[in-house]
Amino acid sequence: MNKRPLILVTNDDGITAPGIRILISVMNEIGDVVVVAPDSPQSGMGHAVTINDTLYCSEITIDNGPQREFQSSGTPADCVKLAVSELMDRKPDLCVSGINHGSNSSINVIYSGTMSAAVEAGVEGIPAIGFSLLDYSWNADFEPLKSYIKKIALNVLENGLPDGVVLNVNFPKNNQFEGIKICRQARANWVEEFDKRVNPQGRVYYWLTGKFENMDNGEDTDEWALANNYISVVPVQFDLTAHHFIQKLNNWKL
């Protein structure tokens, strides 16, 4: 590209989260950066958008990077919509979301605000990547991820992505990486439980708990890659049509 690419950075952990600050620093090495991110944590929001409340957005300065930064009261998907429609003078060449504090592999991709921001960018026709580290700690070490993030982002800028496809990149917690592995999403799910309690006023409330269950023994999945200290890269499509079932469904007596 003849000029520096325009890069949109967002996340779901909030604009002050260490993960996004690292991601911003890497993107500043590549292009001109605009940050639009939630003003508070929005983990697990999925692709929610704000339709029954007002949206607020203000420009702020957090550190001395050359980027412009905006914090929004909205969800990660809202942030991308605001960026494209109101805050940027042209469509960005790339959108990166993260670095998420915690896994977005396998089934987690559908609950993830991080990945939903990337998907929203994809809907807008913007090449997009979601980055996550399998470490929920606020003090997680993101430094070893930087060279890999830069390599992946530069490859997307050079090669592009197909329409309707974004990348879901997860890093294992152990930062002695074996390399990068292109994967499919593992067939797994959460087995939910609810911790039922009663508050001092006698009102029943619940805390969602549960455990992650991987039912996929394949060695070509993101879960296998991460368990074996590989960085997983999964191309994700947001066309949810079960194309393989259309012909059979046409044979039903509907």
C-alpha–C-alpha distance, residues 186 and 101, integer Å: 20
pLDDT digits (tens, 9 = 90+) for 27-38: 999 999 999 999
Q: Does domain 6-184+218-249 have CATH number 3.40.1210.10?
A: yes
**Owner of token pair 């960005």:** 92
C-alpha–C-alpha distance, residues 59 and 202, integer Å: 44
68 token code pair: 């412009």
C-alpha–C-alpha distance, residues 23 and 43, integer Å: 17
Measured N-to-C along each axis, helices 18-28 and 146-159 cross at an angle, to the nearest 10 degrees, of: 50
> Which phi and psi (to 5°) does residue 120 adopt?
-60, -40
Round the average pLDDT of the chain to a whole number and report it.
92
pLDDT digits (tens, 9 = 90+) for 43-99: 777 787 878 888 899 999 998 878 899 999 999 999 999 999 999 999 999 999 999
For the chain, give the percent of residues with pLDDT over 90.
Answer: 72
CA distances from 199 to 194, 196, 203, 206 (A): 15, 10, 5, 10
Where along the chain do its domains lie?
6-184+218-249
Residues 6+ apart with CB under 8 A from 6: 31, 32, 34, 88, 90, 92, 93, 94
